[in-house]
């Protein structure tokens, strides 16, 4: 029974994820909408981590793959079937092809040139989605379902929507609410298993070695580009999967999903939790999505209520000081938090945890020794 | 028998500076060939031309019958010519064992192999080979230390293990004992002598004449980008040209 | 011909903004080796400097509006107008040019504080870390501005004297209907002037010579016993001033909003890369070049041939340059070229 054993890790992980609706209840984070977000962004972040965490290549364009995944999934709903399986598979595959193309070009450069190339490609995709590609993306309105969509597979199976818009389903099971979460959760577990395998494979070790010293890898006999490209494509496919799940839980795709700020968000989540660690990115997702939820719901009156136990003058003062950080200003808190992490804890929350546990162990160890002496 | 490494008329200029002019050097299979020469003579440039880090302006580098000029560094590595770097080029974020497993994996997997679902824990053969290479340089006790945290001398020995684990046909050693304490230097010399018995061809760049004369079968002297002498250690020791080159340097300093 | 001239002019003023931001980015990168993702936010801060000065000057008193007699109406009259009448009105009218006087020391202070407080700790860190921390700072700065000025663009007009258009066509003998806003011409002139001043400063002062030497070979200059560090702090302040002044002057052209910095930053980075990382001349040339290219791409004639080209032209150029000539148009060989 050790965390070195993949089976133990997977059992533990599955138990934690599947029981999330139960153990997140005390902090009020157990409603389906937020749970789905945890799982979807979790997939996005662990995929991004395969590229950034292992190889150190910082992509600022991963939102493009998220967007492609969403568009593909919605098109699958429109043309083929409301069943989510083809949507998810196609979303992942199409993003993979797209990632192959962009990665093949971007990986001709490294360092900040690579970052800027990915950024440029993503911005181009975003701009084109708004303008020229309107027939595919439906421009600013976003791609939506309509009752008149052909849905060939559904039609062949004799499924015709009775009234209103059809809903996404898994062989008849509706993909909203908790069942939607469990579908995402199962995919998250599978995705986590893939990253776990990669992290503990010779392939993964080589990726970390590329991050540590790319030049040395080349002289050690490795052609680094196919390694980087495959990692890029895998992480792009994760992003595409996450994007298609967004469409599964809410069948709508808009270009804003591809903007570079969305790429920035996944960078934030990964770094905050701890890039290059297995569960760090998931922690980052949890922290950011949870607090985004709490903080953006807060307003001045809620703050005032929270400070109610304090003397009136002090409470007013605190309300004034803290109000820019909540509600609309949640991003301010996020930016500050992020800066603090990059400055003081480049390894993210995971580094913090390991520092604390080492400290505790030393303290406990010392206490044990002195106890034995006396 | 044709030489395993044949450097033929290699020239390299940087800007207007002639780093190498018409260098000719033949290394026979199984021998230990030392290249010595004053600072700035072009020794490192020559090595860089061999392993594809630099491309010579003219001339060819033939290794095992194939011209290496213009080849990618990883292909040169797999052809069997491996370099041990002067400034340690290790993987500072990995532990010592992983540092040696990487070149061992290169030997097995080739330039690229996509095996994300293979378990690293099951790579016992690779692990054992890496461990025994670490044992050769007596670093096996520290296998789980971070490579970035060990001393400079230890890093040099780790470099050596990384080169040896690939069992190359030709090992290029760039000042393998620089920065080592006397004891470590002697141990390294012993190790290199052992390898010599195994028949591995070696090219050594070295400043330390003690090391050079205890290891080399033949010595070439490089000065101002030219080979000025080539021969057995005794011939080199008594060559007036070589003395001049070295004395010239000491006058400059 | 008219159309081409007007497109060039249109491109030049946008190019001027790109060039000024890219100039600062390049200075910071060349001297300090810092990849500053917060540089766009400095441009935005400068623009809001102009907004603040305008708002300060127009602090008003609520007075009864005597012109309306049938009910009690109130109107706001700026104190300046109450105290000094027409002179006060004129000062308010000139808010943007006046703001420059405040923006310069303010941005210098911001720049120096930023370098001393944050950036200097990141010299030894990786470029990725630098990007990340300055990206965080950019978010913080823009959210602060959003908290105090709101999310909507704030109109910041140029002085009335120059609110009209210049008869450019008549000047070049190309017809009367070819006109161009005065303020944009002024902006163009000012960017030229600032660029000239920066180059002159770097070229003709000893301070500038040390900085240039430092850009070429930092270690050697450090070995000469010159305190490069302090000079670089000032250079960072200078870069901030250039960005800030560019922003303040741009306020009448594009009403400032909190995310204008990010929009310009992404493009300016592309400009820097196209010009060549670390090359000041390259940054300026690429700035104007890309501005003009973008302006041409947005002509209807061009768009009808290649739809959507106006949206992506800059990125497209950057991608091609990066893939074909990674050192950029004027970059030195081997600088960040991998």
Collect all residues of chain B within an 8 Å Cβ-Cβ radius of residue A216.
85, 89-91
Q: H or E element: which one contains C181? A: strand C180-181
User: Does B87 map to a domain?
Assistant: yes
How many Å lie between the alpha carbon of A332 and the closest alpha carbon of chain C?
5
Top residue of A195, A202, A278 to mutate, by most chain B CBs within 10 Å, is A202
At residue B248 the predicted structure's pLDDT band, cuts being 50, 70 and 90, is: low
Examine the domain organization and report whether B52 and B158 are in the same domain.
no
Contacts 24+ apart (CB under 8 A), C289-293: C289/C15, C290/C15, C290/C18, C290/C314, C290/C317, C291/C11, C291/C12, C291/C13, C291/C14, C291/C15, C291/C16, C291/C17, C291/C18, C291/C19, C292/C7, C292/C8, C292/C11, C292/C12, C292/C15, C293/C11, C293/C317
**Is residue B83 pLDDT above 80, yes or no?**
yes
Taking only the tens place, the pLDDT of each residue in C109-146 is: 999 999 998 888 888 888 888 888 998 899 889 888 88
User: Does A287 map to a domain?
Assistant: no
Neighbours of chain B (3+ CB pairs under 8 A): A
Q: Does C92 touch chain A (CB under 8 A)?
A: no
Collect all residues of chain C within an 8 Å Cβ-Cβ radius of residue A261.
262
Taking only the tens place, the pLDDT of each residue in B141-200 is: 999 999 989 988 888 889 989 999 999 999 998 888 877 788 888 888 888 888 777 788
> Which pair of structure tokens corresponds to residue B167?
């069992």
B215 within 8 A of B207, measured Cβ to Cβ: no
DSSP string, chain B: ---SEEEEEEEEEETTEEEEEEEEEEE-TT-EEEEE--TTSSHHHHHHHHTTSS--SEEEEEETTEE-TT--HHHHHHHTEEEE-SS----TTSBHHHHHHHHHHHHHH-S----TTS-GGG-HHHHHHHHHHHHHTT-GGGTTSBGGGS-HHHHHHHHHHHHHTT--SEEEEESTTTT--HHHHHHHHHHHHHHHHHT-EEEEE-S-HHHHHHH-SEEEEEETTEEEEEE-HHHHHT-HHHHHHHHHHHHH-
Nearest to C319 among A115, A120, A271 (CB): A120
* Closest residue of chain B to A6, computed from CA coordinates: B119
At residue B253 the predicted structure's pLDDT band, cuts being 50, 70 and 90, is: very low
**Is residue A31 pLDDT above 70, yes or no?**
yes
What's residue A42's pLDDT? 96
Total domain count, chain A: 2
CB contact under 8 A, A346 and C129: yes
C19 within 8 A of C288, measured Cβ to Cβ: yes
User: Does A370 map to a domain?
Assistant: no
User: Does B155 map to a domain?
Assistant: yes
Residues C334, C326: Cα–Cα separation, whole Å: 10
Residues C78, C86: Cα–Cα separation, whole Å: 12
Q: Does B14 touch chain A (CB under 8 A)?
A: no
**Is residue B94 pLDDT above 50, yes or no?**
yes
**Chain centre to alpha carbon of residue C235:** 16
Residues A255, A125: Cα–Cα separation, whole Å: 9
Examine the domain organization and report whether A97 and A225 are in the same domain.
yes
Q: Does C145 touch chain A (CB under 8 A)?
A: no
Nearest to A213 among B51, B90, B98 (CB): B90
Examine the domain organization and report whether A254 and A348 are in the same domain.
no
Give the strands of the sheet with B201-205, arranged side by side. B81-84, B170-174, B201-205, B32-36, B218-223, B226-231
Examine the domain organization and report whether A189 and A268 are in the same domain.
yes
Examine the domain organization and report whether A126 and A222 are in the same domain.
yes
Nearest to B116 among A197, A211, A223 (CB): A197
CB contact under 8 A, B119 and A200: yes
Q: H or E element: which one contains A103? A: helix A84-106
Nearest to C143 among A105, A131, A332 (CB): A332
At residue C337 the predicted structure's pLDDT band, cuts being 50, 70 and 90, is: very low
**Is residue B123 pLDDT above 70, yes or no?**
yes
Domain boundaries, chain C: 2-324
Domain residues for the domain of B115 are 81-167
* Closest residue of chain A to B148, computed from CA coordinates: A212
C288 within 8 A of C187, measured Cβ to Cβ: no
B/A Cβ contact: 3+ pairs below 8 Å: yes
Examine the domain organization and report whether B85 and B47 are in the same domain.
no
Total domain count, chain B: 2
Instruction: Report the predicted TM-score, pTM, of the whole model to 2 decimal places.
Output: 0.88
User: Does A349 map to a domain?
Assistant: yes
Candidates C141, C245, C150; CA nearest to C192 is C245
CB contact under 8 A, A223 and B72: yes
Taking only the tens place, the pLDDT of each residue in C43-99 is: 999 999 988 888 888 777 777 777 777 777 777 777 777 777 777 777 777 778 888
Domain residues for the domain of A355 are 298-364
Examine the domain organization and report whether A102 and A202 are in the same domain.
yes
Q: Does B93 touch chain A (CB under 8 A)?
A: yes
Q: A248, A279, A310 — which closes off a domain?
A: A279
Most confident of A355-369, B91-105, B150-164, C284-298: B91-105
User: Does A73 map to a domain?
Assistant: yes
What's residue C176's pLDDT? 65
Examine the domain organization and report whether A43 and A118 are in the same domain.
yes
User: Does A10 map to a domain?
Assistant: no
Examine the domain organization and report whether B179 and B212 are in the same domain.
yes
User: Does B200 map to a domain?
Assistant: no
**R_g (Cα) of chain C, nearest Å:** 22
CB contact under 8 A, B53 and A201: no
Taking only the tens place, the pLDDT of each residue in C246-269 is: 999 988 888 888 888 877 887 888
Residues A142, A137: Cα–Cα separation, whole Å: 6
At residue A156 the predicted structure's pLDDT band, cuts being 50, 70 and 90, is: confident
What's residue B87's pLDDT? 78
Task: Determine how many CB atoms are found less than 10 A away from the CB of residue B121.
Answer: 12
Residues C255, A297: Cα–Cα separation, whole Å: 30
What's residue A86's pLDDT? 94
Q: Does C248 touch chain A (CB under 8 A)?
A: no
What's residue A46's pLDDT? 96
Top residue of A194, A222, A276 to mutate, by most chain B CBs within 10 Å, is A222
User: Does A24 map to a domain?
Assistant: no
| Architecture of the domain whose range is C2-324 | Orthogonal Bundle (1.10)
Contacts of A330 (CB under 8 A, 6+ apart): A291, A292, A295, A296
Residue A131 backbone dihedrals phi, psi, to 5 degrees: -110, -85
Examine the domain organization and report whether B177 and B145 are in the same domain.
no
**Is residue C170 pLDDT above 70, yes or no?**
no
Contacts of A96 (CB under 8 A, 6+ apart): A233, A236, A237, A240
What value does the mean pLDDT take over residues B238-252?
65
What's residue B14's pLDDT? 82
What value does the mean pLDDT take over residues A204-228?
94
CB contact under 8 A, B73 and A230: no
User: Does A353 map to a domain?
Assistant: yes
CATH number at residue B222: 3.40.50.300
Examine the domain organization and report whether B88 and B158 are in the same domain.
yes
Q: Does A174 touch chain B (CB under 8 A)?
A: no
Residues in chain B: 253
């Amino acid at each position: 029974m050790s965390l070195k054993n993949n089976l133990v890790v997977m059992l533990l992980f599955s138990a934690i994820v599947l029981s999330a609706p139960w153990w997140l209840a005390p902090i009020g984070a157990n409603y389906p909408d937020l749970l789905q977000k945890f799982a979807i962004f979790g997939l996005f972040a662990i995929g991004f981590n395969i590229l950034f965490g292992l190889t150190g290549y910082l992509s600022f364009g991963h939102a493009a793959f998220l967007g492609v995944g969403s568009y593909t999934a919605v098109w699958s709903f429109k043309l083929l079937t409301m069943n989510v399986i083809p949507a998810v598979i196609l979303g992942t595959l199409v993003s993979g092809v797209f990632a192959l193309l962009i990665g093949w070009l971007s990986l001709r450069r490294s360092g900040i040139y690579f970052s800027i190339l990915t950024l440029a490609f993503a911005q181009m995709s975003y701009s084109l989605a708004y303008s020229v590609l309107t027939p595919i993306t439906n421009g600013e309105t976003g791609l939506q379902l309509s009752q008149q969509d052909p849905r060939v597979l559904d039609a062949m199976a004799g499924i015709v929507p009775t009234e209103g818009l059809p809903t996404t389903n898994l062989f008849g099971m509706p993909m909203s609410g908790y069942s939607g979460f469990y579908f995402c959760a199962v995919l998250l577990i599978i995705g986590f298993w893939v990253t776990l395998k990669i992290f503990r494979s010779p392939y993964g070790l080589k990726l970390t070695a590329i991050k540590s010293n790319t030049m040395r890898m080349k002289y050690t006999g490795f052609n680094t580009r196919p390694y980087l490209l495959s990692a890029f494509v895998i992480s792009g496919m994760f992003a595409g999967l996450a994007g298609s799940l967004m469409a599964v839980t809410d069948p709508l795709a808009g270009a804003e999903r591809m903007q570079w700020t969305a790429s920035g968000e996944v960078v934030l989540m990964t770094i905050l939790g701890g890039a290059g660690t297995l569960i760090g990115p998931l922690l980052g997702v949890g922290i950011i999505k949870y607090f985004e939820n709490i903080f953006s719901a807060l307003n001045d009156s809620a703050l005032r209520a929270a400070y109610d136990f304090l003397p009136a003058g002090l409470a007013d003062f605190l309300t004034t000081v803290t109000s820019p950080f909540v509600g609309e200003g949640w991003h301010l808190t996020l930016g500050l938090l992020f800066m603090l992490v990059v400055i003081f804890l480049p390894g993210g929350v995971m580094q913090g945890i390991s520092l604390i546990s080492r400290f505790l162990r030393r303290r406990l160890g010392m206490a044990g020794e002195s106890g034995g002496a006396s | 028998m044709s030489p395993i490494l044949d450097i033929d008329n290699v020239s390299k200029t940087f800007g207007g500076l002639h780093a190498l002019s018409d260098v000719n050097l033949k290394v026979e299979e199984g021998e230990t060939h030392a290249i010595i020469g004053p600072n700035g003579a072009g020794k490192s440039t020559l090595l860089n031309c061999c392993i594809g880090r630099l491309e010579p302006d003219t001339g060819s580098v033939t290794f095992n019958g194939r011209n290496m000029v213009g080849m990618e560094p990883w292909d040169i590595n797999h052809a069997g010519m491996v370099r041990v770097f002067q400034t340690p080029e290790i993987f500072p974020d990995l532990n010592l064992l992983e540092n040696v497993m990487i070149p061992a994996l290169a030997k097995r997997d080739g330039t690229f192999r996509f095996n994300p679902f293979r378990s690293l824990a099951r790579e016992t053969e690779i692990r054992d080979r890496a461990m025994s290479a670490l044992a050769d340089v007596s670093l096996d006790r520290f296998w789980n230390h971070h490579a970035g945290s060990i001393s400079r001398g230890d890093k040099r020995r780790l470099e050596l293990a990384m080169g040896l684990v690939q069992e190359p046909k030709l090992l290029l050693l760039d000042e393998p004992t620089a920065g080592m304490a006397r004891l470590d230097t002697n141990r390294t010399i012993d190790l290199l002598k052992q390898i010599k018995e195994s028949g591995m061809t070696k090219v050594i760049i070295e400043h330390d004449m003690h090391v050079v004369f205890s290891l080399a079968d033949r010595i070439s002297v490089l000065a101002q980008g030219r080979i000025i002498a080539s021969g057995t250690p005794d011939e080199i020791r008594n060559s007036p040209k070589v003395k001049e080159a070295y004395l010239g340097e000491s006058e400059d300093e | 011909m008219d159309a081409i001239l007007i497109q060039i002019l249109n491109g030049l003023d946008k190019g001027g903004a790109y060039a000024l931001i890219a100039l600062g980015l390049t200075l910071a990168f060349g001297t300090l080796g810092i990849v500053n993702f917060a540089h766009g936010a400095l441009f935005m801060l400068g623009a809001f400097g102009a907004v603040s000065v305008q708002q300060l000057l127009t602090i008003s008193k609520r007075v009864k509006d005597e012109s309306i007699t049938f009910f009690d109406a109130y109107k706001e009259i700026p104190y300046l107008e109450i105290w000094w009448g027409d002179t006060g009105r004129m000062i308010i009218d000139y808010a943007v040019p006046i703001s420059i006087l405040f923006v310069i020391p303010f941005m210098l202070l911001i720049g120096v504080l930023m370098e001393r407080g944050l950036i200097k700790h990141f010299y030894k860190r990786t470029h990725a870390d630098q990007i990340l921390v300055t990206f965080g700072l950019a978010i913080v700065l823009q959210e602060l501005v959003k908290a105090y000025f709101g999310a909507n663009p704030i109109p910041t007009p140029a002085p009335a004297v120059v609110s009209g258009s210049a008869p450019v066509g008549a000047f070049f003998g190309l017809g009367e209907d070819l006109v161009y806003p005065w303020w944009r011409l002024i902006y163009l002139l000012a960017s030229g002037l600032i660029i000239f001043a920066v180059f002159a400063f770097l070229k003709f002062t000893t301070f500038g010579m040390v900085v240039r030497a430092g850009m070429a070979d930092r270690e050697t200059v450090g070995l000469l016993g010159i305190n490069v560090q302090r000079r670089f702090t000032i250079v960072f302040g200078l870069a901030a001033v250039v960005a800030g002044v560019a922003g303040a002057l741009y306020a009448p052209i594009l009403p400032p909003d909190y995310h204008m910095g990010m929009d310009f930053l992404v493009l300016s980075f592309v400009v820097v890369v196209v010009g060549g990382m670390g090359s000041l001349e390259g940054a300026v040339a690429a700035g104007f070049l890309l501005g003009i290219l973008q302006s041409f791409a947005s002509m209807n004639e061009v768009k009808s041939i290649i739809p959507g080209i106006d949206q992506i032209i800059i990125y497209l150029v950057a991608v091609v340059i990066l893939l074909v000539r990674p050192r950029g148009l004027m970059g030195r060989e081997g600088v960040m070229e991998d």
